[in-house]
Amino acid sequence: MTSTDVLFRPFSIKGLTLKNRIVMAPMTRNMAPAGVPNADNAAYYARRAAHDVGLILTEGTVIDRPASRNLPDIPFFHGKEALAGWKAVADAVHENGGRIAPQIWHTGSTRSGDWAPEAEVESPSALVGPDDPRGVAMSEADIWATIDAFGKAAGDAKANGFDTVEIHGAHGYLIDQFFWAATNKRTDAWGGATLPERSRFAVEVVKAVRAAVGPDFPVILRLSQWKQQDYAAKLAKTPAEMEAWLMPLKEAGVDIFHCSQRRFWEPEFPEIDGAQGLNFAGWAKKITGAPTISVGSVGLSGEFLAAFGGEGSHVTSLDNLLERMSKDEFDLIAVGRALLSDPQWVTKVKQGRMDDLKGFDAKDLATLS
């Protein structure tokens, strides 16, 4: 196997220095009663920090809007109690030598089982997916209030000691519903026939976040081509379309693009550079010049969506990852299920204890171990 040393180089941006290139991917846990993270949540993240995760991205934590979450125990990132709980989480991670960012989020009109918030869900055009109506279309006032709420959450992240912040703009949730033509049918200034036109909402969110945190605090934006509503969806079908999508976001204030794929080794445009071509994060870095995070089934068979159906995964080789990292195709790699099932995953990789790595057990989704 290629040396794992490439994973353990430091990484720095805007005063933030990470001791290695490994990021804990954000994973919804739905275990914050009344929306308030508690000692169990803090201990869960602290265990990963104690075992050398370079940067922890929290589970999605929602902004201050009436229907911003799609499960009852998703944590808030607003209100005195929730913010105090998150400060305790950040403090616990720092005490264990880690760095941490909240992922700030609005779930839009998406469904998750039978639960629904008391307020009507909101989205660009009252659609969950193609020809699938739900909730209400956002008014101009709703849109600006939501943009302001993202900015407020980012400012609260900085004020409560977090090291950076990630905006969730992927996977068919609210920001992504503005990007996607299938869910954004608006004919006003928040819609349009082209992806850059439909990106205005995300650009304004990024600007609000940047204004709230200032110029020297890193801002991460998570994006995906695929949607939970349509795994085959593709916002940018060519590098030129990707450039037209990403560059305005970078200019608005994004420092790092977190490029979500279901399988990190799959090329984004194989018709251009072949079966071994650059992945989504590789192309985003090439196009924008910004650092990128890749993610998707690292070190495991299967892929994460199957986990919610109870499917486990076994350990697989890291060779493909190490080869791509050695070429600096992308800068950081996010690890999800492997770290969920094994808090010591990074330490084991660093020590070369590959035979001790654990596969993913779907039962671990029910715990904060």
The model's pLDDT over 207-256, given as tens digits with 9 standing for 90+, comes to 999 999 999 999 999 999 999 999 999 999 999 999 999 999 999 999 99
**What rounded mean pLDDT belongs to the chain?**
95
State the catalytic residue, choosing from 44, 45, 173, 231.
173
Residue 141: pLDDT band by 50, 70, 90 thresholds?
A: very high
Residue 275: pLDDT band by 50, 70, 90 thresholds?
A: confident
- Is the confidence at residue 302, as pLDDT, over 90? no
pLDDT for 313:
81
pLDDT in tens, 303-350: 555 555 556 688 999 999 999 999 999 999 999 999 999 999 999 999
Residue 341 CA to residue 367 CA, distance in Å, equals 10
Range 150-167 average pLDDT: 98
Is 231 known to be catalytic?
no
pLDDT for 298:
95
